[in-house]
Amino acid sequence: MSALGTVWSKDHIQRTLRAEQAYPVPCATLYANLYVGPLVPGKLAEVYRELAAGEREISLTLDQELEAQVEALFRAWEIFDPPFAWVYGLPFAPLSAYEGVTVRLSEDACVRRAGDGKETDLLQPPQSSLTHTWDCGRLPSVEEIDQLLPAVDASGMIAAGCHELARRFAERCAGRAWLVSPVPSPYEMLHVLGFVGMMEVLRKDPPLADAMIERSFHNGLQMAEVYRAAGIDGTFTEECWASSDLISVADYERFAADADRRLIAALKSMGFDVLFHMTGGIEGRLPFIREYGADAVALEDSKKGFVVDLGEVRRELGDGVTLWGNISPVVVRDGPAERIEKAVRENFAAAGPPYVVSCGSPLTPDTSVENVNALLRAAESLPDG
């Protein structure tokens, strides 16, 4: 492990979340896990080769496999210079997923065989399918909710060791980075009905929507218990399907707002820092978001006909909430560094402190590490006061 969080630390972000702007201004761009995640298999292959020390096949104990996974995660998150001050999206899987692992190595392959016999070549990109459909064909009944959204049991997950890998990462991190895990908005989980179903259920079967939202609320808090056992610092709640281009203000208030308010209050009572992210158009949403009591609010970058003005957001939400920047990831992708720095400075000037540098949408996979580093350096260079 090298220097995760040497420019910024967990304290930098947490002070900023308490409305005390830390300098250098932290950079914690949203969904960085989508950029870092694809790097992890290759880093894990590196670790396996080091453990193999020239052997073509190795068997790992549970402890060796967990430590290899932690090392791979660290190496993936430390590709940036300066490094991120946060880590998002640590895996939560039962210990059985890491038992009985063997690895076969060749010049151009690293095949991990799990205890259940499933094999993965870590050097080959995973195959993804786009053949799914959003339409489920019909709305289910309330009685089918257990199939739609099985209830999560925190005690069972903890007994199965689902928190152990993340706990080891947190222990090794020793407070140097802010560790964050997702707790979805209860309303967002209506997406399991498919897009059409998600729209139809609000009109055709509100009791079903209510039941699904309550189950999701339960599951979110159960997952938060698992995160607490792992030593996670903060939670990330995103509201992806309730923007002004999708549902009315009345439907937002009826189905999303109260559940988000209750969820955020419960998470804060558990001791988590809470980051709330609203995507899409925000017309009519800010008065509700102001009442949620989240430590920080992130909003999407302007696109697709909607505009998110951080100056307007600041005036509406006040100085007591930290704003996550909404810089366009296209700017970071295309560069050059001078343009990225200009965008960061303009974003900070519009939002004012307390503020964290971030893109409003995920970094694109074709963004160079050099341009991500330029974003990080631009945050580091923001003037104090």
Q: Domain with 177 in it: what CATH number?
A: 3.20.20.210
Asked whether residue 302 is domain-assigned, the answer is yes
Asked whether residue 4 is domain-assigned, the answer is no
Mean pLDDT of 324-353: 96
> Which pLDDT value is given to residue 8?
84
Task: Using CB atoms within 10 Å of the CB of residue 362, give its burial: 0 to 12 exposed, 13 to 18 middle, 19+ buried.
Answer: middle
> Which pLDDT value is given to residue 233?
96
% of the chain with per-residue pLDDT over 70: 96
Asked whether residue 339 is domain-assigned, the answer is yes
**In the structure encoding, which two tokens stand for residue 249, read together?**
């203000």
**In the structure encoding, which two tokens stand for residue 151, read together?**
């209830």
Question: Mean pLDDT score of the chain, rounded to an integer?
Answer: 93
> Which pLDDT value is given to residue 176?
87
- What's the pLDDT tens digit per position in 78-94? 999 888 789 999 999 99
**Closest C-alpha to 8, from 84, 78, 74, 75:** 84
Mean pLDDT of 340-352: 96
> Which pLDDT value is given to residue 37?
93
**Closest C-alpha to 173, from 112, 283, 90:** 90
Indicate the pTM of the whole model: 0.93
> Which pLDDT value is given to residue 4?
63
> Which pLDDT value is given to residue 174?
83
Rounded to 10°, the helix 206-230/164-173 angle is: 50
Asked whether residue 132 is domain-assigned, the answer is no
Asked whether residue 3 is domain-assigned, the answer is no
> Which pLDDT value is given to residue 385?
65
**Rounded Cα gap, residues 201 and 138, in angstroms:** 10
> Which pLDDT value is given to residue 1?
38
**Given strand 322-324, what is the order of strands in its sheet?**
86-88, 178-182, 234-239, 273-278, 296-299, 322-324, 355-356
Largest CA distance in the chain: 64
> Which pLDDT value is given to residue 128?
62
Band (132; pLDDT cuts 50, 70, 90): very low
> Which pLDDT value is given to residue 302?
87
Are the C-beta atoms of 276 and 298 separated by less than 8 Å? yes
Torsion from C-alpha of 308, 316, 190, 231, nearest 10 degrees: 100
Check residue 376 and give left, alpha or beta (phi > 0: left; psi -120 to 50: alpha).
alpha
CA angle, 367 as apex, 313 and 44 as ends, to 5°? 110
Strands 296-299, 273-278: pairing is: parallel
**Closest C-alpha to 87, from 20, 163, 169, 171:** 169
Q: Which residue has the higher pLDDT, 242 or 175?
A: 242
Asked whether residue 385 is domain-assigned, the answer is no
- What's the pLDDT tens digit per position in 70-127? 999 999 999 998 887 899 999 999 999 999 999 999 999 999 999 999 999 999 987 7
**Rounded Cα gap, residues 210 and 300, in angstroms:** 27
Band (5; pLDDT cuts 50, 70, 90): low
Asked whether residue 135 is domain-assigned, the answer is no
Mean pLDDT of 162-182: 94
Is the pLDDT at 273 greater than 70? The verdict is yes
Is the pLDDT at 137 greater than 80? The verdict is no
Are the C-beta atoms of 101 and 112 separated by less than 8 Å? yes
> Which pLDDT value is given to residue 9?
86
- Full residue range of the structural domain in which residue 145 is found: 10-126+141-380
Domain count, the chain: 1
Asked whether residue 136 is domain-assigned, the answer is no
Q: Which residues contact 9 (CB under 8 A, 6 or more apart)?
A: 85, 175, 176, 177
Mean pLDDT of 150-179: 95
